[in-house]
Structure 1
């Protein structure tokens, strides 16, 4: 902004000197040197009291100098005025370019400040979240001070605890396998005993059934024998009641005895 102001003042002073000759302007900026050198001249020097008609150009070793001199031809004066107008136009154009660059720089600076502010807010928010998380973990660790609490042990201690837990599980598994083997032996014994008992019960049941069948058969035979005895007794009683009628009775008696 300071450079733009200096260049604007330089252009204004040059224009005023070209019009009424009441200023002394020595623009020593880089742009003025580039502009004058590109036009084929050196440093522009305007002395107090100089007028457009009293200005002319000299060609020194380092560039063109405009200084008050004796009255010259109108052609030299017109050339000097034209050179001043070209310089003023170039300064104006350069001033506009610098203003646009300044505006762009302001926008970039505003964007950079906004990004910096965003990063600052993000960092502050992240730090706050991290602090809250750490406080929550500390609170949980203090609230539940247990060995099983993952927040209360370090990775090394956790690895040691996991290793010891695996060892305990292996020991328990070995004990269970031993007990299982013993139970298998006992189970085989019980199975064998059960089969033997089942066979014994089956044999006893079969023997009992056979005995019952034999008893039933004997009972039936006895009933039949008793029935036969009763029939024989009835026949004998009938034979005793009827008197024997001679031979016919004897024959009949003999026939009855034969039936007996």
Structure 2
């Protein structure tokens, strides 16, 4: 499959949709799939007209994590696969960070199982909507491979004890449990895609400038000490206040009219 086939792209009403499209492999994150996803995200990063991205999947799973068959095939390499394993983990980590760095919000729409690095993919998105049948797990411990890189994203989404329980037991959790611990934002009875589109449509009505400022600041301040976080956030607020959308939005509020956002 070509890169375009592996991750398809569509857009409607300033909302972009990326679809993992390798159902035969349960959308496993092979090196080719990671490269395709990275390419799509890079292209979106340069689109100032897009407001929100939805990440969804075709087939019986949202994402089965790393492609274990592909990884195992390299155990016969002279270095026992070390170079390929390193390349794969670095590529995966780069994709997760690219999602966080994207100027616009990314919503995961999960209707089926998200496993290991697939769960990491969900946790790396800014928001997540689950369908009633969605399930999530980090079962590396069951095969002697602790989900250390999924733990990075997971531990930044849910409380440490919830994250450790998932990582240490490998047991799957359903949509309700994922909502309770904060891995997903909401459950859509009509399916994750419908729920994600409703959420995206709501966000797309807001100021794009404010959201770009806000997303970047949210992740930057989270890793700082309290005082440094406030310094950083205060500086961002000043720049945001000087931007056109803030001027327009405040004027609209004071004048009791709807704001006319910039692109």
Bin of the TM-score, shorter chain as denominator length:
under 0.3
Highest Rg: 1 or 2? 1
* Structure with the higher strand share, 1 or 2: 2
* Structure with the higher helix share, 1 or 2: 1
Using structure 1 for the length normalisation, give the TM-score. Answer: 0.19
Q: Which structure has the higher relative contact order (CA within 8 Å, separation 6+)? A: 2
